[in-house]
Amino acid sequence: MPAYIITYFGVRGRCETMRMLLADQGQEWKENVVPFDVWMKGDLKATCVFGQLPKFEDGNFTLYQSNAILRYLARAHGLYGKDDKQAALIDMMNDSCEDFRLKYARMIYQDYENGKAKYIEDLPGDLSKFEKILSDNKGGFLVGDQISYADYHLLDLLLIHQVLSPGCVDSFPALKSYAERLSARPKIKAFLESEAHKSRPINGNGKQ
Ligand code: 6SG
C-alpha cells in the first residue's frame, strides 16, 4: 500500500497540483475520496484540524493545508531549489500562485454568473506577470534551472485557465511553451491522459 494518502473531495481543486507533483516524481498514492454528502454530515470535518480538506497522510504523519503539503513534498523530493535564496524565491512564486488561485476560486464559487466575463477580461494582467518571470529566467522554470513545487502549481493554474478561457495563453509565448513543455514530461503526460485526471471535475460546484 502506498505510504501517501490524499483525503479530499472528488475534484481537482486544491489537490491536482500535488497529484501532478507526485506523478512526475514517480510516487504512488492512495485517493480517499469524500463525497460531499458525507462531508456535510460533519463527522470528518470535526476531526480535521482546521475543519477543511485536503488531509494528507505519509504513514502516521498527518498534514493539512494544501501549500504546506506541497512544501513537505518539495523537501522530500528535491523540488525546493539549490539553496536558501532559491527556496525563498520558490515560496514567493508559490504565494503568487496562491493569490491567483484564490481569485479564481472566488469567481468560480461566489461570482461565476456575474463575474466570469470581467475575470476573463482581466486575465491577461495576471498572466503577464508570470510571462515576464518565465521569459526573464532562461532556466526554463519559475526559479533556476530545475523544476520546483511552484512549477506544478503554475502548471495546474494554466491548465484550468485554458478550460475557463480557451486560448488565454496564446498571446504569451513563454507561458504557452512552458505549459506545453511541462505537460509533455512523460509522467505528467501519462497523468494528464489518465481517466482519474480526466474524469475529475475541476471544481466542487460543477463550474469551470
Ligand atoms: C474546499 O478551502 O472543492 N478546502 C475546502 N471545504 C469544506 O467545510 N487553505 C486551505 C488549503 O489550502 C483551504 C482548504 C479548502 O488546504 S476546496 C473545504 O474543506 C468546508 O470548508 C474547494 C472545493 N469546494 C467544494 C466544496 C466542498 C465543501 C464546500 C465547498 C460541496 C459544495 C458545497 C458543499 C459541499 Fe462544498
Q: What is the pLDDT of residues 163-194, one digit of tens each?
A: 999 999 999 999 999 999 999 999 999 999 99
Q: What pLDDT does residue 64 have? A: 98
Range of the domain at 116: 84-185
Is position 207 within any domain?
no
DSSP string, 89-150: HHHHHHHHHHHHHHHHHHHHHHSHHHHHHHHHHHHHHHHHHHHHHHHH-TTSSSSTTS--HH
Q: Residue 26 is part of a domain; what is its CATH number?
A: 3.40.30.10
- Ligand 1 center to residue 160 CA distance, Å? 17
Q: What is the pLDDT of residues 85-105, one digit of tens each?
A: 999 999 999 999 999 999 999
Q: What is the pLDDT of residues 20-57, one digit of tens each?
A: 999 999 999 999 999 999 999 999 999 999 999 999 99
Type of residue at 138: K
Q: What pLDDT does residue 178 have? A: 98
Please tell me whether the overall predicted TM-score, pTM, comes out greater than 0.75 for this model: yes
Q: What pLDDT does residue 1 have? A: 62
DSSP lists the bridge partners of residue 32 as: 7
Ligand 1, atom 3, lies closest to the CA of 204
Is position 206 within any domain?
no
- Are residues 127 and 91 part of one domain? yes
- Are residues 181 and 93 part of one domain? yes
| Mean pLDDT in residue range 140-168 | 98
Q: Residue 98 is part of a domain; what is its CATH number?
A: 1.20.1050.10
Of 107, 93, 91, 87, nearest to 161 (Cα)? 107
- Ligand 1 center to residue 63 CA distance, Å? 16
Q: What pLDDT does residue 2 have? A: 74
Q: How many domains does the chain have?
A: 2
- Are residues 155 and 88 part of one domain? yes
Type of residue at 115: G
The answer to whether the CB of 52 is under 6 A from ligand 1 is yes
| Mean pLDDT in residue range 60-72 | 98
